Amino acid sequence: MMEQKKKNLDQINKIRKNTNTTRRATVKKIENILYKSFKVLDKGFIRVIDYMGDDSSIVQAARVSYGKGTKKINQDKNLINYLISHRHSTPFEMNEIKFHVKLPIFVARQWIRHRTANVNEYSARYSILDSEFYIPNKKNMQAQSKSNNQGREQQLNDIESKQYLGIIKKNSKHAFSDYRELLNEDDGGKTLDKNKNGVARELARMVLPLNAYTEWYWKIDLHNLMHFLSLRFDYHAQYEIRVYAEVMLDILKKWVPLTYEAFISHRLENISLSKHGIEFIKNLIHGKKNNKIKISKREEDELKKKFGII
């Protein structure tokens, strides 16, 4: 496995030495990181394989211009802000980015729900999966949340988290050993029992657990990437997918800095208020009582949190 990792790294270093000339828009900060792997979780990564367009491509598309778009960065900035704040999506669909991601299967199941991307996954019918499993950090071993059925909260004590981590490790090891037995091959590809055939890869993989790692190429346009990030960078999203979104958000900042700024301001850090939510805030501002407002406890808590009201 170490050998494979070294081979992968050699290939990345080799490809990073190539440069091509082009008339197309390039972004220096993305060129600097192109093909590089950014570590995510214990054994996962994300890297940019290709991209199309920059901030000015969005302006060009919005204006359907012949040249480079507008003249000044401030004009580009204002236009991009306007487009994002008014939910004009199509100019952002003109830019695209392609990632190579290595991620646990249970994260991939959440990720694949985003239907607006193009995906090509590593084939466990064709190839044998490496013995790589996601094992959470001790600090991420948390108990079920009492207020949110879809989340976790309180950190476990050392004894409990050690015990559960032991179960996860044992289960992963056991599953991988069964996988090898079904394939009738050891880690190095040697036959385990010459009198047996083993089962096909497409069947043997059934015994692998959800924390086994898979890999895919994932290509998406900028509009849908921002949609993905607004859902998966959010604190409601599971930690294990949020950490990928965190790295992608940083890549977004390098790729299209003006769009990134507008996205943070109008999408990630904005507040969406329901009719009752507006009433609730109005009453607060005017010092009126809020006992007649039909606002859900969840919305009330979110509003209080966002406005810093305890």
Ligand X SMILES: Cc1cc2nc3c(=O)[nH]c(=O)nc-3n(C[C@H](O)[C@H](O)[C@H](O)COP(=O)(O)OP(=O)(O)OC[C@H]3O[C@@H](n4cnc5c(N)ncnc54)[C@H](O)[C@@H]3O)c2cc1C
Binding site residues, ligand X, CB under 6 A: 113-116, 150, 224, 227, 231, 236-237
Q: Which CB, 103 or 204, lies closer to ligand X?
A: 103
C-beta separation of 245 from 228 below 8 A: yes
Q: What is the three-class DSSP state of 200?
A: coil
Q: Which residue is nearest to ligand X (CB)?
A: 115
Is 242 designated active site? no
Instruction: Say if strands 118-121 and 142-144 run parallel, antiparallel, or are unpaired.
Output: unpaired
Q: What is the three-class DSSP state of 1?
A: coil
Q: Which CB, 98 or 114, lies closer to ligand X?
A: 114
Q: What is the 3-state secondary structure (H, E, C) of 30-82?
A: HHHHCCCCEEECCCEEEEEEEEECCHHHHHHHHHCCCCCCCCCHHHHHHHHHH
CB of 29 to ligand X, least distance (A): 26
Q: Which CB, 58 or 245, lies closer to ligand X?
A: 245
Q: How far apart are CA 37 and CA 30, in angstroms?
A: 13
E strand spans, the chain: 38-40, 44-52, 96-104, 118-121, 142-144, 152-155, 213-221
CB of 108 to ligand X, least distance (A): 13
CB of 225 to ligand X, least distance (A): 9
Q: Which residue in 232, 242, 267, 298 is the catalytic one?
A: 232
Q: Which CB, 131 or 224, lies closer to ligand X?
A: 224
Burial class (CB in 10 A: 0-12, 13-18, 19+), 72: exposed
Angstrom CA distances, 248 to 101, 104, 239, stand at 11, 17, 14
CB of 36 to ligand X, least distance (A): 26
Angstrom CA distances, 168 to 24, 96, 216, stand at 48, 38, 24
Q: How far apart are CA 248 and CA 267, in angstroms?
A: 16
CB of 87 to ligand X, least distance (A): 12
Q: Which CB, 112 or 203, lies closer to ligand X?
A: 112
**Catalytic residues, which ones?**
232
